[in-house]
């Protein structure tokens, strides 16, 4: 994920986290790249990671008698396409299946059903023409386009399809589905879905301002929703808290019934996938998502890639565990904390490494702080 981006320098950081079924763990930094542009050759960026993972695998490292293996990769969609060398926004962009999208209304739209499942063998053999990125090789008459292989295939036990998550709750559900709901509610959609009336919006905001979230939430209060949604689009935590703690039923009186009837199905499915307690009912979530997609397509005529990803969410939760375990939130929090210590006028790499060493010393309470100057911020 990008650590930060300004006019002169970008920084990309690879984070890891131990999946411990008993206790909460924190992310740690595996590697950081800084430069004037994003890494041009992902193979070079990822090669040290692949070498280190293979080295650790060869040494049979264990934690509490459990072998250390990569459980999966969790990124946003753009970074996922980059590390897998997959074409972003193409007709064949789905990482999980061979569903074929098409151009409509200036964007790419996708079917509401899954296509044939992609396989690890198919990916490693570069069988998915139009899915893999391509590059020009050879000279003169021998020039031709060939598919680019991801450096991550160098980790031979990784499943290049199943081990890459596309169902992060924040990117898929909160900033994807839920923002779409709010946009439909606030701005309307076509002739049938009208924008929310001003008096209903004022009533909604009065109730929202009286709402206080549990003490483990931050922020514990909401700001009013406006028709431009500016605050809610800027602060993903507002969206997540609205979706998880307040819920869609809060908006029932303000919404047109057909809109509520459509989106409540995502909320039911999301609630079932939020805990292992409901594991026996997870297949029902797939039915709710399927009903939602059918209703949405019937009403609005098309679905985007994010909506198509809903068709794969239950299989992903079944593989990795409930939604919280799929979340990018701990990694985003870690990157945000690193952003606060990096002064953009100086080398980000030096600052990040010295900050990490200081944190490590503080964590171990060794008292031997490394001999690095502190960042000026």
**311, 169, 313, 338: which is closest to 241 by C-alpha?**
169
Nearer to Zn ion, 101 or 240 (CB): 101
Within residues 12-51, the interface with Zn ion by CB under 5 A covers none
- Least separation in angstroms between residue 108's CB and Zn ion is 13
Nearer to Zn ion, 94 or 273 (CB): 94
Can you tell me which of 97, 177, 242, 262 binds Zn ion, judged by CB under 5 A?
A: 97
Are 26 and 45 within 8 A, CB to CB? Answer: no
Which residue stretch of 50-58, 66-74, 89-97, 178-186 sits at the interface with Zn ion (rule: CB under 5 A)? 89-97
- Least separation in angstroms between residue 97's CB and Zn ion is 3
Position 86 contacts Zn ion (CB under 5 A): no
Nearer to Zn ion, 133 or 312 (CB): 312
Place of tokens 């450096």: 151
- Least separation in angstroms between residue 209's CB and Zn ion is 40
Binding-site size, Zn ion (CB under 5 A): 4
Nearer to Zn ion, 155 or 161 (CB): 161
Within residues 125-154, the interface with Zn ion by CB under 5 A covers none
Position 99 contacts Zn ion (CB under 5 A): yes
Nearer to Zn ion, 128 or 250 (CB): 128
Are 354 and 376 within 8 A, CB to CB? Answer: no
Q: How far apart are CA 136 and CA 127, in angstroms?
A: 18
Which residue stretch of 85-93, 99-107, 171-179, 229-237 sits at the interface with Zn ion (rule: CB under 5 A)? 99-107
- Least separation in angstroms between residue 367's CB and Zn ion is 53
Which residue stretch of 97-105, 149-157, 196-204, 292-300 sits at the interface with Zn ion (rule: CB under 5 A)? 97-105
Which residue stretch of 71-79, 88-96, 256-264, 363-371 sits at the interface with Zn ion (rule: CB under 5 A)? 88-96
Nearer to Zn ion, 266 or 313 (CB): 313
Nearer to Zn ion, 97 or 272 (CB): 97
Nearer to Zn ion, 98 or 134 (CB): 98
- Least separation in angstroms between residue 101's CB and Zn ion is 10
Which tokens belong to 267?
């909320």
- Least separation in angstroms between residue 313's CB and Zn ion is 11
Q: Residue 67, CB half-sphere, CA atoms under 13 Å: how many?
A: 9
Position 94 contacts Zn ion (CB under 5 A): yes
Which residue stretch of 90-98, 121-129, 166-174, 191-199 sits at the interface with Zn ion (rule: CB under 5 A)? 90-98
Cα torsion angle, 92, 98, 104, 105, sign: negative
- Least separation in angstroms between residue 46's CB and Zn ion is 24
Which residue stretch of 93-101, 129-137, 153-161, 222-230 sits at the interface with Zn ion (rule: CB under 5 A)? 93-101
Are 20 and 26 within 8 A, CB to CB? Answer: no
x/- string (CB under 5 A) for Zn ion, residues 45-84? ----------------------------------------
Q: How far apart are CA 116 and CA 224, in angstroms?
A: 44
Nearer to Zn ion, 265 or 306 (CB): 306
Residues that bind Zn ion (CB under 5 A): 94, 96-97, 99
């Amino acid at each position: 994920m990008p650590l930060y981006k300004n006019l002169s320098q970008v920084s990309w950081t690879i984070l890891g986290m131990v999946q411990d079924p008993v206790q909460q763990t924190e992310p740690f930094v595996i590697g950081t790249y800084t430069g004037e542009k994003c890494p041009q050759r992902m193979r070079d960026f990822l090669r040290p990671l692949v070498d280190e993972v293979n080295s650790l695998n060869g040494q049979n490292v264990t934690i509490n008698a459990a072998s250390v293996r990569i459980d999966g990769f969790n990124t946003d969609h753009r970074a996922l396409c980059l590390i897998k060398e997959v074409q972003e926004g193409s007709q064949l962009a789905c990482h999980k299946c061979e569903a074929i999208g098409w151009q409509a209304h200036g964007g790419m739209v996708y079917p509401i059903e899954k296509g044939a499942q992609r396989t690890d063998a198919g990916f490693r053999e570069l069988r998915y023409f139009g899915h893999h990125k391509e590059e020009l090789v050879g000279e003169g008459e021998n020039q031709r386009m060939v598919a680019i292989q991801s450096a991550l295939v160098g980790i031979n036990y990784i499943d290049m399809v199943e081990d890459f998550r596309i169902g992060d709750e924040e990117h898929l559900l909160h900033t994807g589905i839920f923002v779409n709901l709010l946009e439909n509610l606030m701005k309307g959609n076509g002739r049938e879905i009208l924008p929310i009336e001003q008096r209903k919006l004022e009533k909604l905001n009065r109730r929202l301002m009286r709402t206080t979230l549990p003490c483990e939430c931050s922020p514990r209060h909401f700001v009013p929703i406006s028709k431009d949604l500016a605050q809610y689009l800027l602060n993903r935590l507002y969206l997540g808290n609205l979706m998880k703690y307040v819920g869609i039923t809060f908006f029932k009186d303000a919404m047109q019934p057909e809109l509520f009837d459509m989106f409540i199905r995502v909320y039911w499915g999301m609630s079932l996938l939020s805990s292992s307690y409901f594991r026996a009912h997870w297949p029902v979530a797939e039915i709710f998502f399927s009903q939602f997609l059918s209703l949405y397509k019937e009403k609005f005529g098309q679905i985007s890639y994010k909506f198509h990803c809903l068709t794969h969410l239950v299989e992903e939760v079944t593989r990795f565990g409930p939604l919280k375990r799929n979340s990018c939130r701990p990694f985003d929090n870690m990157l945000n904390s690193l952003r606060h210590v990096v002064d953009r006028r100086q080398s980000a790499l030096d600052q990040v490494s010295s900050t990490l060493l200081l944190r490590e010393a503080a964590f171990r309470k060794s008292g031997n702080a490394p001999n690095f100057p502190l960042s000026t911020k």
